[in-house]
Structure formats: structure tokens, C-alpha cells
């Protein structure tokens, strides 16, 4: 993986490596935020995972993945 910008990593690891990295990251993210975009067999051709506090949530809207902003307190 290459760090394209501070804290932004780009790469194409296989599914096993990607899942392991995500499990590790999601348990250690703390107050930070993380987004993983990965290939998927859907209309868009990708899926998204999120972790952390106050993060945008992926929402399936009739087969189209959209991002929902967290509610303000």
C-alpha cells in the first residue's frame, strides 16, 4: 500500500489481507475515523466499510450505496 496523502492509503491487497488489516484497524481506531472501499459484486462495483466515532454510515438505497451523515447532538 502507498500513502498517497497523510493518512490516506491506496492499494490492492487480496481479500484475506484486506480483512485482516480492517479487523486490526477497526479495533484500534479509537476516536479516529476510517473508510475502506473495496471491490464488490454489485451495480456500483464497490462496497464501503466505516469505523470510528461520528462517521458517515453507508446506506443501501435500492441497490445504490449512499452515505448518511451522523445526527448532530
Please write the tens of the pLDDT for every residue from 24-73.
Answer: 999 999 888 898 999 999 888 888 898 988 778 888 888 788 888 877 76
Set of cell numbers at residue 36: 475502506
**pTM reported for the whole predicted model:** 0.77
44 alpha-carbon distance from chain centroid: 15
Please write the tens of the pLDDT for every residue from 34-43.
Answer: 989 999 998 8
Amino acid at each position: 500500500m502507498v500513502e498517497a496523502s497523510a493518512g490516506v492509503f491506496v492499494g490492492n491487497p487480496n481479500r484475506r489481507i484486506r480483512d485482516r488489516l480492517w479487523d486490526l484497524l477497526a479495533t484500534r481506531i479509537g476516536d479516529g475515523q476510517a473508510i475502506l472501499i473495496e471491490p464488490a459484486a454489485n451495480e456500483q462495483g464497490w462496497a464501503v466499510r466505516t469505523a470510528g466515532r461520528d462517521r458517515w454510515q453507508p446506506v443501501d438505497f435500492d441497490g445504490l450505496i449512499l452515505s448518511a451523515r451522523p445526527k448532530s447532538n
